[in-house]
Amino acid sequence: MKKRILITGGAGFLGSHLCDRLLEQGHEVIVADNLFTGRKSNIAHHLGNPNFEFIRHDVTDPIRLEVDQIYNLACPASPPHYQYNAIKTIKTSVMGAINVLGLAKRTKARVFQASTSEIYGDPEVHPQPESYWGNVNTIGVRSCYDEGKRVAETLFFDYHRQNGVDIRVVRIFNTYGPRMLPNDGRVVSNFIVQALRGEDITIYGDGKQTRSFCYVDDLIAGFMKLMETDNFTGPVNIGNPGEFTMLELAEQVLKKVGSKSKLVFRALPSDDPKQRKPDITLAKTRLGWEPKVPLSDGLDKTIAYFAKLLDCPYPQS
């Protein structure tokens, strides 16, 4: 059944991929984005589609629309971008949540919150299940993002309990793929861009800290499965449980690019988690979802995207 769907942050990395998939299914899609980290180029191919509309809008301001579903993806998600204006970041998470929840309450729309594995902080439980409450510094340089997302989850569940709003909450683990920004400061894009340019690969700490990397197509499939599932609010972890050290990731990227870049080590940033891996048992049992794209295949697609974007030669993988 055709739905009218709002995506806040829809011109961003994840939002634009979600937009593609929803339009493919024949839905009417409205993208609201202030273009702080989103890019018009990510959605330009839809501008002539009668089922697509773009509104330049900041989610910290209320918006009045008639919609059936809302995906709230608006918030800078990489440390350099969310730390650039920490107060704005926390406003985006908190006021943005209040505004989309108010819209959902009025229109009786199902509303989706893109939460994050950062709500687990530097975890003392590994891997992280949804039942884990986290180990988060409330006053650190990352707190504007971590705590903003935690408060947003609280607001979603309070609106659900108090006003009967139909909510869905996903906790996103590290995701990568085409349309990432080359300067977004995330490890996959950092390593690929540095390798393609022949620059030194920057490793923070000893490189033994771990992350789990989910290819964007798998993540978006998880989003849509949750939105299509009745009687399940989440929160639910969506991510790839394959766990890699930063050194392992750097070695894979260097080998695929054929780069002579050297590894250089820098001090670990404040509050940087030592390990991160989702327990996806709940996603498997309640949504029938698990990731399908191996890291090697996803890296090939992402490297090819950046090589074209940066006009860098990309030798054989």
pLDDT (average), residues 155-164: 98
Q: What is the CATH number of domain 177-211+242-274+293-310?
A: 3.90.25.10
pLDDT at 315: 60
The residues, any chain, with a CB within 8 Å of residue 286's CB and separated by 6 or more, are 229, 232, 236
CATH superfamily of domain region 4-175+214-238: NAD(P)-binding Rossmann-like Domain (3.40.50.720)
For 117-150, the pLDDT digits (tens) are: 999 999 999 999 999 999 999 999 999 999 999 9
pLDDT above 80 for 4: yes
pLDDT above 70 for 92: yes
pLDDT (average), residues 192-201: 96
pLDDT at 48: 94
Q: 77 falls in which pLDDT band (50, 70, 90)?
A: confident
pLDDT (average), residues 195-200: 95
pLDDT above 60 for 238: yes
pLDDT at 274: 83
pLDDT at 129: 97
For 34-71, the pLDDT digits (tens) are: 999 999 999 999 999 999 999 999 999 999 999 999 99
Closest of 82, 75, 171, 154 to residue 120, by C-alpha: 171
Say if strands 243-245 and 210-212 run parallel, antiparallel, or are unpaired: antiparallel
pLDDT above 60 for 317: no
For 281-302, the pLDDT digits (tens) are: 999 999 999 999 999 999 999 9
The ranges assigned to domains in the chain are 4-175+214-238, 177-211+242-274+293-310
Q: 316 falls in which pLDDT band (50, 70, 90)?
A: very low
Q: Which residue type sits at 96? A: G
pLDDT above 60 for 194: yes
Looking at the annotation, which residues are catalytic?
145
pLDDT mean across residues, the chain: 95
The residues, any chain, with a CB within 8 Å of residue 240's CB and separated by 6 or more, are 173, 212, 213, 214, 215, 218, 278, 291, 295
Q: How far apart are the first and last CA of the chain?
A: 42
Of 161 and 269, the structure prediction assigns the larger pLDDT to: 161
For 246-264, the pLDDT digits (tens) are: 999 999 999 999 998 999 9
